[in-house]
Amino acid sequence: MTSLLDDARTRLGLSVLSRVAGPNALERRSRIRDTTGQRWFRPGSPITIVHADAATFIGGMRALLLQSLHPLAMAGVADHSGFRGDPWGRLQRTAAFLTTTTFGTTTDAQRAIARVRGVHRRVHGTAPDGRPYAADDPDLLRWVHVAETDSFLAAYDKYGAKRLTADQRDEYVAQTAVVARELGATDVPVTVDELRTTLRAYRPDLASTPAARSTARYLLVRPPVPITLRGPYAVMAAAAVGLLPWWARLPLRVPYLPLTEATVVRAGGLAFTEGVRWVMRPVNAQR
């Protein structure tokens, strides 16, 4: 019975990993993590703890919702990204970038950075409000970075496997800043306090646009997932919404239900992350 349960868990873990990281995900992860060479981040440091945890699923969803509130960033996604046509492909590329820059050798990380910067140079245009945008604009890169860093940290604080100390949380922000600067962002925060200050400074630039509201509906109401995964996806999405700051709720037209979020949603988020860890455990053991 134990063997059958382990086999089923491994198959489910492989299915989840393939959905998020693409085909041949195990081989690619093994190569990234097992290749010898210098790395940007030491094993066991805060960025490796946070980015290896199941809470990143919830954090990634929150980051997408939060990032959509910047009209220029959203214009670039709408005009140039395959987000709607190939949402899983985009997710897999993002997961590969995160894994490579966090766990890979310096050489592999720099190659991943160069590829992304090459894509960014080709992404430019005019937003619906008439303003020009460019994906390699340091200000937009900083916004995407702080929204992502704040989201991953918020998700880990709420649903991570173990608590980070205050010093570890500051170190996480400083470590993510390394990648942001390599991508071309400037004046990036390196402490939690600076992260909060930077995020707050962007609020006048954020807006409730049709593109932002459409993205929220797409992610939360009409998700691109098979029916067998709709239940877990709904739990993950509710947990992500529950982590959004109050000022992001109304622009995205998502509810604010503090009592429900503190009880039912939190319990669901804990169950979701524990479930992902459970199904992934045999897969991780093989890497």
Rounded mean pLDDT of 265-270? 89
Residue spans per domain, the chain: 38-279
Prediction pTM value = 0.87
Which tens digits make up the pLDDT trace of 38-96? 999 999 999 999 999 989 989 988 998 999 999 998 888 777 665 555 555 666 777 78
Rounded mean pLDDT of 125-141? 92
Which tens digits make up the pLDDT trace of 35-50? 888 999 999 999 999 9
User: Is 65:238 a contact under the CB 8 Å cutoff?
Assistant: no
CA gap 194, 225 in Å, rounded = 36
Task: Work out the percent of the chain whose per-residue pLDDT is above 70.
Answer: 82
What pLDDT does residue 233 have?
A: 83
Banded pLDDT at 283 (limits 50, 70, 90): very low
